[in-house]
Amino acid sequence: MSNRKTVDISKEEIQEQKEYIDNIKELIKGRSLKYHIITYGCQMNIHDSEKLAGMLNSMGYTETSDQAEADLILFNTCCVRENAEHRVYGNVGALYLNKQQNPNLIIGICGCMMQQRDVSDYITKKFPFVDLIFGTHNLHRFPKLLLEAMDSRQTVVEVLDEEGRIVENVPIIRNLGVTAWTTIMYGCDNFCSYCIVPYVRGRERSRQPSDILDEINQLAEEGYKEVTLLGQNVNSYGKDFNEPYYFSNLLRYIDRVDGIERIRFMTSHPKDLSKDLILAMAESEKVCEHLHLPIQSGSNRILKQMNRGYSRENYLELVNEIRHQIPNIAITTDIIVGFPGETEEDFADTLDMVEKVRYDSAFTFIYSQRTGTPAAKMSKQIDENIKKERLQKLMDVQGKISKEINDKAHDTIVDVLVEGLSKKRDDMYTGRTPQNKLVNFAADHNTIGNIVKVKITQPKTWTLEGIMI
Ligand code: SAH
Ligand code: SF4
Ligand code: F3S
């Protein structure tokens, strides 16, 4: 299939890492060591943690959900907003005593936060008891780095500035179950003015369609029913290939994988969502009727400042086209309030768009100043109290709309892919509709892994409750 302009990582390097895995396996043989990974941030990071878990399992470690009994604790960090960073500092600091009591405990920190040189330097100085620091670009080198950390009294630090190449065949331990994630592309080229992601995840690199299809076929064989394709902007999938290849084509291929019953993807950037993608979604059998389409702001002035590349008019047109082609589609979004210079009028435009589009749900965020991004240097940063007030207003408006939309589901019958027992009530099962609504329902027998019909008896703002029929 398509050629990528960049070269894949060499087979030798992968082989080298396998050898490190074997070395560690030999070293820790018979010691029944346990690991605990704490993951912050987006699905991309959660999926990276599945790769770390895969490598650790190959070494002979087993997972524990109890941090206190772990021999290896890893923090996979996020830096998209300041509060995510603060939580990491707090939680790492709290491990000082654990390390005093158990000098053999290994503490590692990786992920997006570490890609910021000033942050990894700060952690090395402030928390010298940390054994290992690495970034997002060298995740596959974890076995080598871990072995070094086991040998060294000082913090082992390896953070690469170059995103380099895509690494295939890293072992992955997914939470066994019904739904799985697969990354189809790495990085982001959009440089929205508020966002740190392009700086910590590097330029866009797409995986080969054949590698993705092999993985999804494998997932189907292992019994997974649903796959979510991940990328910061899946709509620009394939743009880095020499020959044109589009996300819509990839979706059409995945739609034919036997055993996979549902396909989801995130995230879609409105400026790159093509007519052909809408067509591919509408024609496909398995692509779910759900689109996550971050708007970020409803004000044209702010959208321009954010470098988003579309206007509210473009966005509305897109929404109309999608609803025309796929009438049952649920649309969700991300919105930031308090971007520098956001006036009451700009914010009113955001509320107005929320009312016009009528999202099924929205992730709403307070703008967070990220050093190194253009927006951090903009004048007229907004007062924290005003930001909080706007967030509350926005959440109230969206909550009302979500409830109204969910109320319409009362007494309807929906298709639910059953994922497991409900977290809140163990006499109930839980799953999602194609529109990605979480449904908790009563059933008289175990239906995990199947798509079942559920009658909705109690719609709530964020979830639905019902009875299997
Ligand atoms: N690539 C995805 C998501 C990236 S991060 C996309 O473009 O949709 C997820 C969300 O975090 C973004 O959509 C945005 O709403 C929010 N976000 C990113 N940077 C932020 C910042 N500096 N302050 C507040 N929210 C931010
Ligand atoms: Fe950040 Fe924008 Fe890229 Fe999303 S598209 S990751 S918001 S720069
Ligand atoms: Fe956070 Fe990195 Fe994801 S910054 S949102 S974990 S790509």
Claim to verify: residue 367 and residue 385 sit in the same structural domain: yes
Q: Do the beta carbons of residue 453 and residue 469 sit within 8 Å?
A: yes
- Higher-pLDDT residue of 176 and 193 is 193
**Rounded to whole angstroms, how far apart are CA atoms 324 and 332?**
17
The reported pLDDT for the residue numbered 210 is 93
The reported pLDDT for the residue numbered 3 is 43
Q: Is 295 near ligand 3, meaning CB less than 6 Å away? A: no
- Higher-pLDDT residue of 437 and 4 is 437
Q: How far is the CA of 406 from the centre of ligand 1 (A)?
A: 26
Q: Counting atoms of ligand 3 from 1, which one is nearest the CA of 76? A: 6
In the predicted structure, residue 5 carries a pLDDT above the cut 60 = no
Claim to verify: residue 395 and residue 448 sit in the same structural domain: no
pLDDT band at residue 4 under the 50/70/90 scheme: very low
- The 10 Å Cβ neighbour count of residue 19 is 12
- Higher-pLDDT residue of 133 and 160 is 133
Burial of 281 (0-12, 13-18, 19+ CB in 10 A): buried
**Rounded to whole angstroms, how far apart are CA atoms 427 and 440?**
10
pLDDT band at residue 172 under the 50/70/90 scheme: confident
Q: How many CA atoms lie within 13 A of 228 on its CB side?
A: 21
Question: Residues near ligand 1 with C-beta < 6 Å?
Answer: 80-81, 194-195, 197, 232-233, 267, 269, 294, 296, 334, 336, 365, 367-368, 370
Q: Kindly report the protein residue whose alpha carbon is nearest to atom 1 of ligand 3.
A: 78
pLDDT in tens, 245-263: 999 999 999 999 999 999 9
Whole-structure pTM value: 0.92
pLDDT in tens, 51-90: 999 999 999 999 999 999 999 999 999 999 998 889 999 9
The reported pLDDT for the residue numbered 9 is 56
Nearest ligand for residue 231 CA: 1
Mode of pairing for the β-strands spanning 463-468 and 438-442: parallel
Q: Which percentage of the chain shows pLDDT scores above 70?
A: 95
Q: How far is the CA of 101 from the centre of ligand 2 (A)?
A: 42
Q: Kindly report the protein residue whose alpha carbon is nearest to atom 12 of ligand 1.
A: 334
pLDDT in tens, 300-347: 999 999 999 999 999 999 999 999 999 999 999 999 999 999 999 999
- Give, rounded to a whole angstrom, the gap between the first and last alpha carbons of the chain: 45
**Rounded to whole angstroms, how far apart are CA atoms 292 and 386?**
27
Mean pLDDT to the nearest integer, 150-177:
77
Rg (CA), the chain: 23
Query: Which ranges in 28-81 belong to alpha helices (H)?
Result: 43-59
Range of the domain at 121: 11-158
Structure tokens at 177: 């179950």
The CA distances from residue 159 to 82, 121, 130, 370, in Å, are 21, 11, 15, 19
Last residue of a domain, one of 129, 158, 187: 158
Last residue of a domain, one of 391, 407, 423: 407
pLDDT band at residue 164 under the 50/70/90 scheme: low
Nearest ligand for residue 200 CA: 3
The reported pLDDT for the residue numbered 8 is 54
The reported pLDDT for the residue numbered 10 is 62
Q: How far is the CA of 43 from the centre of ligand 3 (A)?
A: 8
**Rounded to whole angstroms, how far apart are CA atoms 388 and 365?**
10
Q: Is 110 near ligand 3, meaning CB less than 6 Å away? A: no
**Rounded to whole angstroms, how far apart are CA atoms 402 and 78?**
28
Structure tokens at 404: 């109204």
CATH code of the domain covering residue 291: 3.80.30.20
Q: How far is the CA of 201 from the centre of ligand 2 (A)?
A: 10
In the predicted structure, residue 413 carries a pLDDT above the cut 60 = yes
Domain membership flag for residue 163: no
Claim to verify: residue 111 and residue 256 sit in the same structural domain: no
Nearest ligand for residue 78 CA: 3
Q: Kindly report the protein residue whose alpha carbon is nearest to atom 4 of ligand 1.
A: 232
**Rounded to whole angstroms, how far apart are CA atoms 452 and 434?**
12
Nearest ligand for residue 335 CA: 1
Domain membership flag for residue 173: no
Q: How many CA atoms lie within 13 A of 85 on its CB side?
A: 19
Domain membership flag for residue 250: yes
Q: Which percentage of the chain shows pLDDT scores above 90?
A: 82
**Rounded to whole angstroms, how far apart are CA atoms 460 and 451?**
22
Average pLDDT, the chain: 92
Q: How far is the CA of 237 from the centre of ligand 2 (A)?
A: 14
Domain membership flag for residue 164: no
- The 10 Å Cβ neighbour count of residue 122 is 12
Mean pLDDT to the nearest integer, 214-243:
94
Nearest ligand for residue 267 CA: 1
Question: Residues near ligand 2 with C-beta < 6 Å?
Answer: 188, 190-192, 195, 197-198, 232-233, 269
Q: Kindly report the protein residue whose alpha carbon is nearest to atom 19 of ligand 1.
A: 195
Q: Kindly report the protein residue whose alpha carbon is nearest to atom 2 of ligand 2.
A: 192
Structure tokens at 374: 């253009």
Instruction: For tokens 């190194």, name the residue.
Output: 372
The reported pLDDT for the residue numbered 320 is 97
Q: How far is the CA of 274 from the centre of ligand 1 (A)?
A: 21
Give φ, ψ of 243 to 5 degrees.
-100, 140
Of the residues 232, 234, 333, 336, which should be mutated to test ligand 1's pocket, given the most ligand atoms within 8 Å of the CB? Answer: 336
Tell me if residue 99 falls in helix, strand or coil: helix
Claim to verify: residue 105 and residue 28 sit in the same structural domain: yes
**Rounded to whole angstroms, how far apart are CA atoms 307 and 193?**
6
The reported pLDDT for the residue numbered 364 is 98
Claim to verify: residue 241 and residue 109 sit in the same structural domain: no
The reported pLDDT for the residue numbered 14 is 77
Domain membership flag for residue 58: yes
CATH code of the domain covering residue 448: 2.40.50.140
pLDDT in tens, 417-463: 999 998 887 789 999 999 999 999 998 888 899 999 999 999 999 99
Domain membership flag for residue 35: yes
The reported pLDDT for the residue numbered 163 is 72
In the predicted structure, residue 165 carries a pLDDT above the cut 80 = no
Claim to verify: residue 341 and residue 221 sit in the same structural domain: yes
Mean pLDDT to the nearest integer, 201-227:
94
β-bridge mates for residue 463, sequence order: 438
Mean pLDDT to the nearest integer, 183-201:
95
Claim to verify: residue 293 and residue 370 sit in the same structural domain: yes
Mean pLDDT to the nearest integer, 104-117:
94
